[in-house]
Structure 1
Amino acid sequence: MTHDHDLELRPTPAQTEAALNPPPGRTGGDLVVETLRGLGAATVFGLPGQHALGMFDALRRSDLTYIGLRVENNAAFAADAYGRVTGEAAPLLLSTGPGALMSLAALQEAAAASAPVLAIGSQVPAAGLGGGRHGYLHELRDQQASFRDVVKSVHTVRTQSQIPSAIAAAWESALTAPHGPVWVEIPQDVLTAETALPVVTAMDATPHELVPRPELTAVAADLLAKAERPAIIAGGGVVRSDAAGKLRALAERVNAPVVTTFGGKGAFPWEHPLSLQSWLEDRHTTDFLEDADVLLVVGSGLGELSSNYYTFKPRGRVVQIEADAGKLEANHPALGIHADARLALSALLETVGERPDPEAAGRVAAVLAKVQERLDSQELALERQIITAVRAALPHKAPSFWDMTILAYWAWSAWPGAMHSAQGAGGLGYGFPAAIGAAVADPTRPVLAVSGDGGAMYSIAELATARQYDLNVTWLIVDDGGYGILREYMTDAFGETTGTELSRPDFVALAESFGVPALRTSPDQLTEDLTKSLATPGPSVVVLPAVLKMFAPTHV
């Protein structure tokens, strides 16, 4: 008996002819780029290196767009942002040893933020693998070991026939919830040797769907429908699964106030009557959430930042929906539902009944009023002015990428809507190279990067990248003369600072030396200057000299 799938697997005469007569001059590197193209990739990021040249030579024969950055860590940040913006796995091509290791801090951020990055690195020739005794340049005794504790999965290749399957498996892993970075490594000689294998065509690497167990969503729906004081914490999983619409529908059906985590910003409308916004470091917000008798946590592990530095102690029943099984009930006992946020919210919407609560919006307004009263009681006019000025300058739906700087800490709480930051792993240097990745993903709209002067020095070389590809990125550098956050932490903890004060360049002159227009602004002029820079095609830099303070979480 012939099955339908048997017919689907049978090649056409034209396919058979092409397979039996592959074009000459191809190498293992061609198998890499053909596989990426077959998976649907259009753009790759990276840096060439000695052992990886087979892949880069093959790029010349492909229609993939290559974006080369100046530092591997920055290339990985760019790929991370490309994945966050598009929802696709961004290929990242790296060389052996130092080149590969330079990407680790950025891949840690991708892992913490569940951003899909497909990192493909070279290796020493196959005969030299396993021991580090052969003296090859860039050789590591066990390169995979350096990545295994950082990325979601590791995939190794030893022969050319393994290349398509390994890359397809990695692609599937990167895009299966929870998303994350993956690592593929291929020896130099496998990449450079000629191949007689057929051209790789379409590859099937469909991500697995993480479906909730129906008996668990039934219990969750019952708890929400019967709750007296329900509340919802919406994390980054809601954003990554494109579930904001379903979250809103559920919140409105059960009249549950919603707070978004710093990684989940944009998951719920900022001005909605049920929106508690993102003031997670405010004690009034923490108290409100602790008082909920049913707390639904969607797409968040309730880690350090989302739990107000582990001071959050819920008293009611917690229901946690999380795609990462390791984060289920990691910090609080809960009804744990291991599932993709979109699928779990869909299941709840099919089950949960209406829960009228005419007082819910009033309780939200009361909390937000207390937050504003707290801010008004502190001397924070400059900080509030600047965050308002930046928001006023940024066009609607234009993405923003924030480094670890005091203004970003403000944005986590005060920025009204979606934003991207390095708050997953917390490494410096994320903002500008990430903005480059987003600008590559969508060249039709401007992108804003925000850094402090300390973080800016991590990625200053990428001004050359932005100029080379003429990318629409405006970089706001808040220059306070050092590591502002660490200065504040050390002053609070020890009364004085060590290692926080920095000599830095004239950022305006430095940007102009790269051929990038730049200007120095002031708080009063910031909206006008930033608006003009964002409206001008190509890269630009705006420098704001300002020393900012963090807010205190309660009255001082």
Structure 2
Amino acid sequence: MKNGGDLVVETLSALGATTVFGIPGQHALGLFDALTRSDLTFFSSRVENNSAFAADGYARATDQPGILFVSTGPGALTALAGIQEAYASGVPMLIISSQIPETGLGGRRKGLLHQLDDQKTSASNVTKSQETIHKASSIPYAIEDAWRTALTAPQGPVWVEIPEDVLLDETSLPTPGTLQIEAPHLTPHPGSVARAAEMLSQAERPAIIAGGGVRRSGDVAQNNLQQLAEILDAPVICTPGGNSALSYDHPLSLGGWIEDRYVTEVLENADVLLAVGTSVGEVSSNYFTMQPRGRFIQIDAHVRVLESNYPGLGIRADASIALGELISTLDNAETIATSSWDGQTSSQLVEAVRHRIEQRLQDQDLKHEIGVMDAIRAAVPDGALTYWDMTIAGYWAWNVWDARSGTMHSGQGAGGIGYGFPSAFGGAIGLGQRVLAVSGDGSAMYSIAELAAARQHNTPVTWLIVDDGGYGILREYMQDTFGQATATELARPDFVALSESFRIPAVITDAAGLEDSLRQAWDADGPNVVVLQTTLGMWKPTHN
């Protein structure tokens, strides 16, 4: 007889899952034992929040839900910080957590190991939905529903918890068989599309902010974005989540300089500003310094973000569908206004803004920082995936990284550190090819234990650790604000020796040797580490 754990893995396999991340735990033993009777491949991390980051990185690489198995109480709580990033960034994940036995649920019995008063409530802040399964017959249907919910826009993590005895109890329920799940599409209201098209067709200075929702909607959305920009002759700026949604070499692309004041002024001067797939939150609004003077249109799959920061016309829809319908409506418009920015065409404006940004960076003596970013870009193949931690190099990447035919991912949704390496671990597993992780020495220590996981699974991840001896970005913030930094300087290990103790090749380099070191690492087998000992400064996003 099979048990509840078998039903879990059978249902996941029926849905098309192949890969599971996590760490075993006492109440979840039935779940992990069932893996031995399934075709699912399990990848063991060393800390639960890193398992969550790995599932996140896998989902971003494959467009399939990342599957995470966690145990009750401490294991579940430790995973929440990683799950928060997926929730904030709209990454589909399915978390299967164990629970204490049925007899202990609801506070009727205290003192059970790992017991929480209400574990599901703990997960409610970072997941789209939460479900506790009480009977084995509910398992296939609950997991099927959770899979659909995770993939339904706005995508995100979904929580399913199963008591220990339900996982272990025998059941005669048959195997689900193949399950075909199609997530529903969010179509915009026709009246809202017509109104948005009317506003855009009359605009003389239209501009577009492209967020993560555009990129997550795939090639169709990105092609639609380019087509719409060309129809309107509108400059486009990409948020960190929307990195390279419009090719950086397109004449209408302002790249990723969302934090630059020159770009902010363009957006403020637009008579119609269209934001697609973004909440226009703290970073995407240049820390709320942006104050649009024209009319504002916002398209997003998440209804609660519409007009959350700026008033205007809110449209709830998938980015690809909304952009496509705007294009169709504009194709039938009688006239579309000719764009003009104080006598400049949009492409001339974009070229001028790019030049101003480049000149300002030169005036701030940032050749070293630009050289480091250029070296990384030159060494990494065009189609590669990169995963960036919340570190100064990552902040530079938000603005300057041209993903080209690859994709750039970072932990900017929730902003927690430690994202880079474990998410890249998951991405490399999903792709089956090498990816790049970038961390600072401070954030690297959050996930240093995952070198063991990378070695165990021989995962092709190149980890660039920029070692400046502390929390570099916090040092910058505190020095700028208070004139001195406090508690930002860190004792750290010899990263090369530590990596080699895990039997992982590692080298130390300087800015001049960075490109060659990364190229050699890229051509190697399995995991490897490149340590760059340098201090990177931040640019000043103002005119002076």
TM-score in same-fold range (> 0.5): yes
1:523 to 498, 508, 511: 511
Where 1:440 maps in the other structure, the secondary structure is helix
Aligned to 1:419: 408
Q: Quick check: 1:280–1:286 contact (8 Å CA) kept in 2?
A: yes
What displacement does 1:548 show?
0.9
What displacement does 1:378 show?
0.0
Where 2:350 maps in the other structure, the secondary structure is helix
Where 2:227 maps in the other structure, the secondary structure is helix
Q: Deviations over 1:470-504 (max 9, x none)?
A: 11100000000000011111112222222111000
Greater shift in the superposed pair: 148-157 or 503-512: 148-157
Separation (CA, whole Å) in 2 of partners of 1:311 and 1:356: 29
What displacement does 1:206 show?
2.6
1:317 to 286, 291, 295: 295
Q: Quick check: 2:225–2:246 contact (8 Å CA) kept in 1?
A: yes
Q: Percent of counterpart pairs with the same letter? A: 56
Aligned to 2:235: 257
Q: TM-score, normalised by structure 2?
A: 0.96
Equivalences for residues 77-476 of structure 1 within 5 A: 77-131=53-107, 133-242=109-218, 243-353=221-331, 356-357=338-339, 359-417=345-403, 418-443=407-432, 445-476=433-464
Q: Quick check: 1:400–1:449 contact (8 Å CA) kept in 2?
A: yes
Separation (CA, whole Å) in 2 of partners of 1:253 and 1:537: 46
What displacement does 1:132 show?
6.7
Residues 1:536 and 2:524 aligned together: yes
Give unpaired runs (5+ residues) of structure 1: 1-24
Q: Quick check: 1:253–1:355 contact (8 Å CA) kept in 2?
A: no
2:491 to 503, 516, 522: 503
Q: Deviations over 1:173-206 (max 9, x none)?
A: 1100001011100000000111111122123543
Q: Quick check: 1:282–1:553 contact (8 Å CA) kept in 2?
A: yes
What displacement does 1:226 show?
1.5
Separation (CA, whole Å) in 1 of partners of 2:415 and 2:314: 27
Q: Quick check: 2:204–2:338 contact (8 Å CA) kept in 1?
A: no
Where 1:374 maps in the other structure, the secondary structure is helix
Aligned to 1:19: none
Separation (CA, whole Å) in 2 of partners of 1:285 and 1:448: 29
Q: Quick check: 1:132–1:139 contact (8 Å CA) kept in 2?
A: no
Separation (CA, whole Å) in 1 of partners of 2:536 and 2:252: 31
Separation (CA, whole Å) in 1 of partners of 2:389 and 2:113: 34
Separation (CA, whole Å) in 2 of partners of 1:35 and 1:315: 52
What displacement does 1:355 show?
5.5
Separation (CA, whole Å) in 2 of partners of 1:80 and 1:455: 17
Amino acid at match of 1:273: P
Q: Deviations over 1:405-444 (max 9, x none)?
A: 001101100111231000000101000000000100011x
Amino acid at match of 2:349: R
Separation (CA, whole Å) in 2 of partners of 1:304 and 1:291: 19
Q: Quick check: 2:282–2:288 contact (8 Å CA) kept in 1?
A: yes
Where 1:231 maps in the other structure, the secondary structure is strand
Amino acid at match of 1:410: W
What displacement does 1:133 show?
3.3
1:493 to 470, 476, 481: 481
Aligned to 1:76: 52
After TM superposition, where is structure 1 displaced by more than 4 Å over at least 4 residues in a row?
354-358
Q: Quick check: 1:400–1:448 contact (8 Å CA) kept in 2?
A: yes
What displacement does 1:347 show?
0.7
What displacement does 1:266 show?
2.0
Aligned to 2:539: 551
Amino acid at match of 2:400: A
Q: Deviations over 1:228-261 (max 9, x none)?
A: 0100000000011111111111111111110000
